[in-house]
């Protein structure tokens, strides 16, 4: 089975540029999570969606960050304008959730390593 697919794997760009990270969740999963990993702050949840609807975006650092999930098989995380402090590894994860909260674990993609110069 294909896992969570993220693209690009690496992104290097200059500050001020727009950055778009992409994620394809596992087919059939209805919850999607975006995380950021840095040495200083560890793994932070940025936002998560359930059935394509954003449920909690309290982790989004500021208005420069936005995330969308136009359909069940695709999500984007956009940073505009980007800044050097946004450099990190960004992970997408997906899981299957129901009203019963059957607590299926989250499956992670391999991440996008983002460097803002």
Partner 1 sequence: AQSVTQPDIHITVSEGASLELRCNYSYGATPYLFWYVQSPGQGLQLLLKYFSGDTLVQGIKGFEAEFKRSQSSFNLRKPSVHWSDAAEYFCAVESNTDKLIFGTGTRLQVFP
Query: Which is nearer to partner 1, 64 or 107 (by Cβ)?
Result: 107
Q: Which is nearer to partner 1, 9 or 16 (CB)?
A: 9
Strand 10-13 versus strand 112-116 pairing type: parallel
Q: How does DSSP classify residue 82?
A: -
What dihedral angle (degrees, nearest 10) is formed by the CA atoms of 29, 62, 7, 28? Answer: 10
> What is the footprint of partner 1 within residues 86-115 (CB under 8 A)?
91, 93, 97, 101, 103, 105-111
Quote the Cα angle for 25-46-82, to 5°: 100
Between 56 and 83, whose beta carbon lies closer to partner 1? Answer: 56
- How far CA 92 is from CA of 13, 21, 28, in Å, comes to 20, 9, 15
Tell me which of 43, 51, 61, 115 binds partner 1, using CB under 8 A.
43
Candidate segments 19-27, 49-57, 67-75, 79-87, binder of partner 1 by CB under 8 A: 49-57
Question: Using CB under 8 A as the criterion, which residues of the chain lie in contact with partner 1 when the complex forms?
Answer: 4, 31, 33, 42-43, 45, 48, 50, 55-56, 91, 93, 97, 101, 103, 105-111
């Amino acid at each position: 089975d294909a896992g969570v697919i993220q693209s690009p794997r690496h992104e290097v760009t200059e500050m001020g540029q727009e950055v778009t990270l992409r994620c394809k969740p596992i087919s059939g999963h209805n919850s999607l999570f975006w995380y950021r990993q840095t040495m200083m702050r560890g793994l932070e949840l940025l936002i998560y969606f359930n059935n394509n609807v954003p449920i909690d975006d309290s982790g989004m650092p500021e208005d420069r960050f936005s995330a969308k999930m136009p359909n069940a098989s695709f999500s984007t995380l956009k940073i505009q304008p980007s800044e050097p402090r946004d450099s990190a590894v960004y992970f997408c994860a997906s899981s299957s959730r129901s009203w019963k909260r059957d607590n299926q674990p989250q499956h992670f993609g391999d991440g996008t390593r983002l460097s803002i110069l």
